[in-house]
Structure 1
Amino acid sequence: MNTFTNVIANGHANGPMFRKLGLLFLMYISQKIFLCFNWTLLPILLRQQGISLGCIGLAVLVFSPWALKFLYASLVDRIYSVSIGKRKSWIMPLLVVSLLAMPLLSLVSPQDHLNILLPAVFVMNFIFATVDIAVDGYATDILLPGERPWGNTIQIAGYVLGYMMGAGVFLIFYQQQGWALTVWAIAATQALVILPIIFHHEMPPCTVTPVESLTSTRGVHKRSFWAFINQPANRSFLLLAALLVLIDQGGAQLRLAMLVDKGVESATIGRLNIWFGSPMCLLGAILGGALLGKIGYRRMLVLGGMAAVAMHCFSALIAYGCFSSWMGFGIMLGGEKLTAGVITFLTYSLIMILSTGNRSATDYAILGSLVALFGFAVNPMMGRICDWTGYYYLYIGLGGLSMAVIVVGCWLLARIIASG
């Protein structure tokens, strides 16, 4: 089946695109605020306590539920209440549970009880990762083919706003007011975000694939994990995604540790994320949505690869001692997020196309989980390498690798389109 072309629309019953995108925007924000806060805070806390870069890389395993979604994603497609809605049956109760859990987490001091906080963050990640399965399936269900690029932009924009709030506003608030008040403030913000989600009426799917429209849901769900990823287009995609994750996320967490080593406070990092990191990530996503239809996947890949080359080379200069000012640090974080915006948009645009159909939540989760798994494998490895080589040589190596990925990636992309 050609998933790039065999998609038919069942109509515009779900209403205007902006209504759907607005709802999905809130759903993606709801997953990210608390997690982006902890994603940024944990490496800072660990480095301040003298933890090695290799161990900081291993600490990202508390976010590993995002890489394990494929193990149970089919349950999200199969088990639901008809009266509530296929996707809302999972989204609504889990968001409420996450909201009720935050007051309990406010009682745990991150400086004194990391052994309690890390498992708690793991559980919260499991909750939000499960929500993400349902939301990704919902997006694939309700967006028409022409709307999907903007759906990917909204997905990244939701992440960006969540990142700006969690890794920016609330990181500054944390340094000034402490952990407990910060978690309560995040909970209050979360409550405002999820209210429209709770009270909305679930929209019906508007797209199906011809083959799947003639196949029973039960039969579709029996397709095995290996059968799906062994499809030629999916095999080529996963190799491409692994390379993109390597050049995109390979040095991301280590930049925070490098700033701590240079004496930069967490509140300053929060401000840099607000003024540089978040806007540039959003710009990358908007560029993706605006340019993909005009320049195509290949040129988008080249654009992301060249951004990675420039970003890693500039990071090496920062490590060497050049541009050691707030402006230089901001350009470094902004370049990282611009690259992430372009590469993430490209990656998840391909995932949405490859997972369209009755198993949309399951197939999206399988591909998305494996992409996340690549990231979790990369971070400890890069932390260990950086302990040996130092920041400068690590980023020089990543810059050279990014140039090679452009060439190999274009070849793999051609294979995906040809076999998709």
Structure 2
Amino acid sequence: MADAVLMSRGRGPVAEAVATGAPLAAVLAAVGGLYVAQSVVTGVTLVGLPAILRESGLPLQRIGLVYLALLPWVLKGLWAGAVERCRLPPAGRPRTPRIVALGTLISALSLAAAAVIGPAAFGPLLACLLVAALATATVDIACDGFAVETLSAHNRGWGNAAQVGGAYLGLSIGGALFLVLTAEAGWTVAALVTAALILGLGLPFLLLVPRLGADAHRAHRPGLAAALRNPRIRTGLLLVPVFGLGLRLGQSMLGPFLIDAGLSLKAVGLINGLGGAGVGLLGTLVGGAAVRRLGSAASVRIAIAAQGLTLVVFALAATWGLQAPELLGALALLAAATAAFGFVALYAELMAYASPAQAGIDFTLFQCADALIALLGGAVSGVLAGRLGYPACFALAACASLAAAFAAPYLIRRAAAECAEERTTGRGPIVGALP
């Protein structure tokens, strides 16, 4: 009931237009295409490019610099306010299509420039990829704002499935397919094909969304300060690390653990690549169905329990020194499916906390917090595994999930109470927060 109360808020002019005009499948295809395109850029940068650079003989220290491309995703909350104010002017139609079109074009042109530059010129190449990452992170702000204000409470689970599933699919395309194209046709062809693919993935959104916008007068001026004054946003910013700490601590060390347990590099690559993408997509579909049927709050609790049990199994496997490649591979795939399910549930819950008056800012803050937890979790898990061993690392991750099983429901109830109070009193931190 708590999440039903919260999620009933996100209806506005765009949502009504979608409900009466555009099929849900068309909206999901539109936003899903953008999510795939964004992750294609990330996959090329963080999965495909390091392998190509290493094959070219570049030192590992320089290859590690490509992870600077994550910075726009961690820091995009700093310019989310400017993007949202541009997207939602005081009067007139939303400018979401313009922002998406410009960002998509910049991303494609950056990859086209990278095709000309080539991997030998590392500095200019990295600059192109940073521009592409900055553009895709900005497009994500506008796309998330559109999704929050457009999808009804009943359909947000499917929206988050499109988001998370698009991320898995995009990473696979940007990593595996890009490497295959590079090996078969060369860097230039692979980069140009990827640039064209990004443009094509943005077309469904640009064809659909301009027909959905409506003229409106907006009393609220979107801003970061307004988001931080909103008690539901502060609660959500607590929920993100509570939910994600155990998952990130365990997830970061799965690959090294499988290698040390005797799996080949090729086997781990298949598990993390094609296998992980496949079960990840399956997990997103199950997560979308669960959110639609059970609600996001119940689905979050199920996800925490599932990820905690998975981490316990990995802690036991590490303690016993299990050397069974098939079983360990199956467990790794189960962990990937569980993580995908959890992200769908979490983001569906967080969508309910964002105000329709500035959804792009609010939801961006949650994603920045998640990216920060991913970076910190990866660094901390490496230290834990290095000093205490894999059993202790997975056990501590399981303990964090156990703590989340108690803390997350409390935070969700608190957010529901905050929303109920706002609806009762008619006063809230943001004008237009409630219909």
Q: TM-score under structure 1 normalisation?
A: 0.81
Do the aligned residues in 1 keep the contact of 2:8 with 2:152 (CA within 8 Å)?
Answer: no
Give 1:62's aligned residue: 69
Once residues 177 and 313 of structure 1 are traced to their aligned partners in structure 2, the CA distance between those partners, rounded to angstroms, is 45
Q: How does 1:182-201 map to 2 (within 5 A)?
A: 182-200=190-208
Once residues 156 and 181 of structure 1 are traced to their aligned partners in structure 2, the CA distance between those partners, rounded to angstroms, is 28
Give 1:248's aligned residue: 247
* CA deviation profile, 1:233-273 (whole Å, cap 9, x unmatched): 322222121121212222334333445665733x6444324
Q: Which of 11, 22, 31 matches 1:24?
A: 31
Cα distance, 1:409 vs. partner? 1.6
Which has the larger displacement, 41-50 or 9-18?
A: 41-50
Give 2:426's aligned residue: none
Give 2:433's aligned residue: none
Is 2:98 the counterpart of 1:89?
yes
Once residues 209 and 410 of structure 2 are traced to their aligned partners in structure 1, the CA distance between those partners, rounded to angstroms, is 44
* CA deviation profile, 1:41-79 (whole Å, cap 9, x unmatched): 577789999969xx97x9745312112222111222222
Give 1:126's aligned residue: 134
Q: How does 1:201-240 map to 2 (within 5 A)?
A: 202-204=210-212, 217=218, 219-221=219-221, 225-240=224-239
Cα distance, 1:231 vs. partner? 3.1
Give 1:145's aligned residue: 153
Once residues 209 and 188 of structure 2 are traced to their aligned partners in structure 1, the CA distance between those partners, rounded to angstroms, is 35
Once residues 152 and 91 of structure 1 are traced to their aligned partners in structure 2, the CA distance between those partners, rounded to angstroms, is 19
Q: Give unmatched runs, 5+ long, in structure 2.
A: 420-435
Cα distance, 1:295 vs. partner? 2.9
Once residues 403 and 328 of structure 2 are traced to their aligned partners in structure 1, the CA distance between those partners, rounded to angstroms, is 26
* CA deviation profile, 1:169-188 (whole Å, cap 9, x unmatched): 43455567665554344234
Cα distance, 1:349 vs. partner? 0.9
**Identity value in percent:** 22
In 2 relative to 1, CA 101–46 (structure 1 residues): closer, same or farther, beyond 3 Å?
A: closer
Once residues 24 and 383 of structure 1 are traced to their aligned partners in structure 2, the CA distance between those partners, rounded to angstroms, is 35
Which has the larger displacement, 186-195 or 389-398?
A: 186-195
Cα distance, 1:87 vs. partner? 0.6
Q: Superposition RMSD on alpha carbons, in Å? A: 3.6
Q: How does 1:355-394 map to 2 (within 5 A)?
A: 355-394=354-393
SS in 2 for 1:89: helix
SS in 2 for 1:220: coil
Is 2:79 the counterpart of 1:72?
yes
Do the aligned residues in 2 keep the contact of 1:24 with 1:154 (CA within 8 Å)?
Answer: yes
Give 1:40's aligned residue: 47
In 2 relative to 1, CA 195–230 (structure 1 residues): closer, same or farther, beyond 3 Å?
A: closer
Cα distance, 1:85 vs. partner? 5.6
Q: How does 1:388-403 map to 2 (within 5 A)?
A: 388-403=387-402
Once residues 94 and 278 of structure 1 are traced to their aligned partners in structure 2, the CA distance between those partners, rounded to angstroms, is 26
Is 2:109 the counterpart of 1:100?
yes
Cα distance, 1:3 vs. partner? 5.0
Do the aligned residues in 2 keep the contact of 1:355 with 1:364 (CA within 8 Å)?
Answer: yes
In 2 relative to 1, CA 167–384 (structure 1 residues): closer, same or farther, beyond 3 Å?
A: same
Q: How does 1:161-200 map to 2 (within 5 A)?
A: 161-171=169-179, 179-200=187-208
Once residues 381 and 200 of structure 1 are traced to their aligned partners in structure 2, the CA distance between those partners, rounded to angstroms, is 43
Which has the larger displacement, 194-203 or 296-305?
A: 194-203
Once residues 234 and 94 of structure 2 are traced to their aligned partners in structure 1, the CA distance between those partners, rounded to angstroms, is 33
In 2 relative to 1, CA 76–106 (structure 1 residues): closer, same or farther, beyond 3 Å?
A: same
In 2 relative to 1, CA 43–323 (structure 1 residues): closer, same or farther, beyond 3 Å?
A: farther
Cα distance, 1:343 vs. partner? 1.8
In 2 relative to 1, CA 243–113 (structure 1 residues): closer, same or farther, beyond 3 Å?
A: farther
Give 2:270's aligned residue: 271
Cα distance, 1:411 vs. partner? 1.9
SS in 2 for 1:382: helix
In 2 relative to 1, CA 136–229 (structure 1 residues): closer, same or farther, beyond 3 Å?
A: same
In 2 relative to 1, CA 8–161 (structure 1 residues): closer, same or farther, beyond 3 Å?
A: closer
SS in 1 for 2:405: helix
Cα distance, 1:406 vs. partner? 1.0
* CA deviation profile, 1:357-407 (whole Å, cap 9, x unmatched): 121222222232223223233222323333323333212221232122212
Q: How does 1:406-417 map to 2 (within 5 A)?
A: 406-417=405-416
Q: Give unmatched runs, 5+ long, in structure 1.
A: none
Once residues 253 and 69 of structure 1 are traced to their aligned partners in structure 2, the CA distance between those partners, rounded to angstroms, is 23
Count the aligned residue pairs: 404
| One-letter amino acid of the structure 1 residue matched with residue 279 of structure 2 | M
Q: TM-score under structure 2 normalisation?
A: 0.79
In 2 relative to 1, CA 233–9 (structure 1 residues): closer, same or farther, beyond 3 Å?
A: closer
Do the aligned residues in 2 keep the contact of 1:169 with 1:270 (CA within 8 Å)?
Answer: no
SS in 1 for 2:210: coil
* CA deviation profile, 1:203-251 (whole Å, cap 9, x unmatched): 4358x9xxxx8xx63x5225x5344234333222221211212122223
